[in-house]
Amino acid sequence: MRYEVKALRGSEGPTALMLDAPDAGDASAQAVAQGYTVIAIQARQSWQLWHPARNPDFPLVLFSQELLALLDAGLALVESLETLAEKEQRPELRKTLTQIVSWLYEGHPLSYALQHSDAKFPPLYVASVRASEKTGALTEALARYVTYQSQMDGVRRQVISASIYPVLLAVVGGLVAMFLMLYVVPRFSHIYAGIGGELPFMSRLLMHWGSFVSEYGKVFLAGVIVMVAMLGYAGTRPLFRQWLTSRLWQLPTIGARLHLYQLARFYRSLGMLLRGGMPVVKALQMVAELLQLSLREQLALAAASIREGQTISNSMERYGLTTPVALRMLRVGERSGRMGEMMERIATFYEEETARWVERFTRLFEPLLMTFIGLLIGGIVVLMYFPIFELAESIQ
């Protein structure tokens, strides 16, 4: 955020500085460091159309890896956090780490410091640390979270990498089709209008479109730009994303795969908390936010059933939170007493199945998309040149 700082320095007289800082205190400290005496500070709103000003996200995985390495090396928790704060170059992150250290010096546990810090640590992370404090296994909890986040990021990267080529192909094909329809076709329409004669029906439609674009091209282009801008803005709105997600869930095949992906996140998060020593009902409450709204309601019913004494496997089966394979693995976990480990295996099974489906889908979708784009562009070109072919035949 930007702050206007009114200050004095030596004999220069009053001056106004514009400084970027996370808060007014940091802006004042920057001015003092430059030799100024601060008189007044006022926040200035920075207008941004797409992304409002906010603090950078806290690098949670990197923080956990570095803290785990320092703890494994034999450093105490406070000493490790002080080391991380000293080496941090970004003022916002250094401020967060210093704040956590101050909470620890006051006698609070690490989970309390994380929960009350300005960085807004995920509740799942805080719960995992809180559970480890009861058993004294903080390093194991950090290692489990790093593994958990790495596996979830791996699934996300796999889906994104599989979608890059189809999206790129669709964008390039769409741009080529727009170039033909907005630039080439209008010029052909003027040529055919001068030649005269009867054109084929589809060619006439294409030429009428060319005439329309040449007459109202600027208005049409402005409308396209406004529509794209509105769609881009709607994509940043949570309500629109929620509506789009609900529509995708209603599609038979895609909805089933989204269901499996949600269950994979659910079981992996739940397994991590159970392995950290958290009670199952409390863990279910912690991971509820990871599920879609309808599944969240089913989870609440399953948690109530478990609280009444029913087994986890029967409760999950009754409210549609498992599959036949996962149900058998849950029952094995109940018999062996390794429920947390078994839930992580269920998550791995779901993730591998999702990855296989994404690979099969992209292998099928890419050639279909290429065929569609080729037919679209080829059809436009053929309709443009078809009258020329007929004219050549008539001359012969």
Q: Is 332 exposed, middle or buried (0-12, 13-18, 19+ CB in 10 A)?
A: middle
pLDDT at 29: 67
The residue that leads in pLDDT, 37 or 54, is: 37
Q: Are residues 287 and 174 in the same domain?
A: yes
Tell me: pLDDT of 30 over 70.
no
Confidence of residue 49 (pLDDT cuts 50, 70, 90): very low
Which residue range(s) make up the domain with 14?
A: 2-44
pLDDT at 284: 85
Structurally, the chain folds into a number of domains equal to 3
What does the DSSP 8-state code read for residue 22?
A: S
Distance (Å, whole) CA 210 – CA 180? 10
Lowest mean pLDDT among 86-95, 201-210, 271-280: 201-210
Confidence of residue 50 (pLDDT cuts 50, 70, 90): very low
- Tokens 């596996």 -> residue: 151
The residue that leads in pLDDT, 26 or 139, is: 139
104 domain residue, yes or no: yes
| pLDDT tens figures, 377-394 | 888 787 777 766 666 665
Distance (Å, whole) CA 110 – CA 132? 10
What does the DSSP 8-state code read for residue 289?
A: G
Lowest mean pLDDT among 167-171, 357-361, 387-391: 387-391
Name the residue among 383, 128, 168, 83 with its Cα closest to residue 271. 128
End-to-end Cα separation, the chain, in angstroms: 75
Say which residues have a Cβ less than 8 Å from residue 105's Cβ, sequence separation at least 6: 78
Q: Which of 147, 177, 205 is the last residue of a domain?
A: 147
Q: Are residues 33 and 69 in the same domain?
A: no
Long-range contacts, stretch 23-26, CB < 8 angstroms, 24+ apart: 26/91, 26/95
pLDDT at 51: 38
CA angle 127, 116, 46 (to 5 degrees): 120
The answer to whether 5 and 37 are in contact (CB under 8 A) is no
* pTM for this entry: 0.61
Q: Are residues 142 and 161 in the same domain?
A: no
Instruction: State the CATH number of the domain containing residue 310.
Output: 1.20.81.30
53 domain residue, yes or no: no
